[in-house]
Amino acid sequence: MAEAERIIGTPDIPGAAGAGPEQSDGNAASGDRSGSDESAPAERSGTDSVADSGADSGVDETPATDERPKGKRRIAVLFTVAVLAYALDLISKMIVVAKLEHHDSIEIVGDWLKFEAIRNAGAAFGFGEAFTIIFTVIAAAVIVVIARLARKLYSLPWAIALGLLLGGALGNLTDRIFRSPGVFEGAVVDFIAPKHFAVFNLADSAIVCGGILIVLLSFRGLDPDGTVHRD
């Protein structure tokens, strides 16, 4: 009997045959699960630590807005220049009306430059005498525009230029309102008389100088707010 079993062979027992591999697979699976369970907290903790470190460092990915001011406004300079130009023009006209009007002209540099009092109903240098009211409205509009522009004025050269324009416009506008022949039709007092040139006053000079300065600043690319652009 024993000899027959040895020759035929012992039949396979499923439980006995599969016990080893299945057990080893189960052990491997349990090892994998335990390994993943152990590694997951480590990964989460690492992610949390990175997030915490980013939060603690105070790094903000959103770009910060620059809140710094552009600079000191030049409104005080503008009005100081305007007041000086206006005062010089007003005082000079008062002296001319009191001392020179209805009198002979005064030679300053021979025939090349004289002081001669005249009344001008037109624009600067005696042009456009038929449009006195229009020039009065233009002068008033220039004053309003300059006053509004002063809110964004940060450039010193622009403050000087606009101050000259404002003072000159106020000087001639005062004559338009308060001098004869009537309100808004008054004739401007002119007294500076170069040879072969129109007679003008200090207000006209301030307006021309301010205009020339504005043209130069525009060519250089300097804006009233202090920025510089290159075309």
Dig out the tokens for 102 from the structure.
Answer: 């209805």
**Do 187 and 175 form a contact (C-beta atoms < 8 A)?**
yes
Q: Is the peptide bond before 181 cis (omega within 30 degrees of 0)?
A: yes
Distance CA 126, CA 45 (A): 88
Distance CA 97, CA 116 (A): 10
Tell the burial category of 166 from Cβ atoms under 10 Å away from its Cβ (0-12, 13-18, 19+).
Answer: buried
Q: Which of 139, 148, 162, 141 is nearest to 77 (CA)?
A: 162
Distance CA 86, CA 139 (A): 14
Q: Residue 188: helix, strand or coil by DSSP?
A: strand
Active site residue 190: yes
Catalytic residue among 12, 89, 204, 225: 204
Q: Which amino acid is at 80?
A: T
Q: Which residues pair with 188 in a beta bridge?
A: 120
Catalytic residue among 12, 48, 56, 190: 190
With tokens 């060519």, the residue in question is 219
**Do 158 and 152 form a contact (C-beta atoms < 8 A)?**
no
The catalytic residue positions are 190, 204
